[in-house]
Amino acid sequence: MAGKTRTPDQIFHRNILRVEKHATKLFREDVNMMVPWALIASYAYYKKDQNIFSDLFFDKMLRVMYSKWDDINHRHKGLIRKGAKSLFYLAENEYPGQIEGALEDIKETFNIEQRSP
């Protein structure tokens, strides 16, 4: 029996789900890991016009991070600020240098390629 042929869009979404599953496992083990993943996802989306998470997953992660903010301890936590009207904000030029490399590692590990518009 031949396997079902998947479209590039279906493959992309399947791989995003794999990243989300991996990240969820990390967050359950260590809530502090939300900080670097939030930075990486934000950098991917706002600077590179790419996604490593679905919008729904990213929003949920930020809500959880917001609720656990006082318990989170990470060296880059100071780069993310709780806003009065929004969950968090980050100045454009404040991404740590290793974020771009981390994004490339995630894209390679989970076979995420930028989709064409």
Alpha carbons 111 and 117: distance in angstroms, whole number: 18
Tokens of 9: 């869009």
CA 115 to chain centre: 17
pTM of the model: 0.87
For the chain, the structural domain boundaries read 8-109
Mean pLDDT throughout 54-76?
93
Which pLDDT belongs to residue 2? Answer: 57
How does pLDDT run across 87-96, given as a tens digit for each residue? 566 666 778 8
Judge contact between 90 and 81, C-beta under 8 A: yes
Residue 117's pLDDT band, with cuts at 50, 70 and 90, is very low
Query: Going by DSSP bridges, is the β-strand pair 81-82/88-89 parallel, antiparallel, or unpaired?
Result: antiparallel
Mean pLDDT throughout 17-26?
98
